[in-house]
Structure 1
Amino acid sequence: MLNSKQRAALRGAANTLDPVFQIGKGEIDETLIQGVGDCLAARELIKVKVLENSEYSAREAANILAEALSADCVQVIGRKFVLFKQKPKESAYTALLAK
């Protein structure tokens, strides 16, 4: 679980990120969860966009993915949300989270 200072640092780091996944009409299925999981394993911090024709709101999609991947939802703004899952080894975000 992230505290408010860690969440704020990650929000700042995610500000310049572009969405790497889009959730559209289809359901959030195993393929999407696997793809997002692989991306989180490589990057740790990703931004995802929920399209207007999706049956999910951004908050619903963020909660489903965060629970399925044991990740933290950093923020939800409009139709975009940010997920974070720390690597077991030291990474670029270790210094941000240590503050």
Structure 2
Amino acid sequence: MLDSKARQELRARAHHLKPIILVGASGVTETLLRELDRALFDHELLKVRLPALDKEDRDAMVESLVAGSGAEAVGRVGRILMLYRPRPSNGIFIPYVAQS
């Protein structure tokens, strides 16, 4: 869990970033979660562009992305979501598996 100061610093760092992950019409799929997992390992902090859906559907999509990636949502502006997950200290990529 990040405190408010850490979230603020991460949002400031993410300001200049462009979205790396674009959620399409298929929504949150296993393939998208695998790509998100790899992108979080490579970048730690990234932006995700959500589709133009109503707010409730986007909120559900955000919950799915956070739960499926093990990342923490540090901010959201309209259809752009900022996610953060620190890289493992050993630097070895191990795919994240959501706990049921």
Contact 1:37 1:69 in 2 (8 A): yes
Tell me the SS of whatever aligns to 1:56. helix
CA distance in 2, matches of 1:82, 1:61: 13
The aligned runs of 1:3-22 (5 Å cut-off) are: 3-22=3-22
TM-score (norm 2): 0.80
Structure 2: 5+ residue runs without aligned partners? Answer: 91-100
Question: Shift of residue 66 of structure 1?
Answer: 1.0
TM-score, normalisation: structure 1: 0.81
| 1:53 CA displacement | 5.6
Unmatched tracts of structure 1, length 5 or more: 91-99
1:52-90 residue CA offsets vs partner (Å, 9 max, x unmatched)? 268931x33222111111110011110000000001229
1:96 is aligned to none
Instruction: Name the structure 1 match of 2:96.
Output: none
Total equivalences in the alignment: 90
Cα deviation digits, residues 7-40 of structure 1 (max 9, x gap): 0000000000000111121131100000000000
Runs of 4+ aligned residues of structure 1 deviating over 4 Å after TM superposition are none
Deviates more, 1:34-43 or 1:22-31: 22-31
Q: What percent identity do the matched residue pairs reach?
A: 30
Partner AA of 2:5 in structure 1: K
Query: Relative to structure 2, which stretch is displaced further, 61-70 or 73-82?
Result: 61-70
> What root-mean-square deviation, in Å, do the aligned CA atoms of Structure 1 and Structure 2 show?
2.1
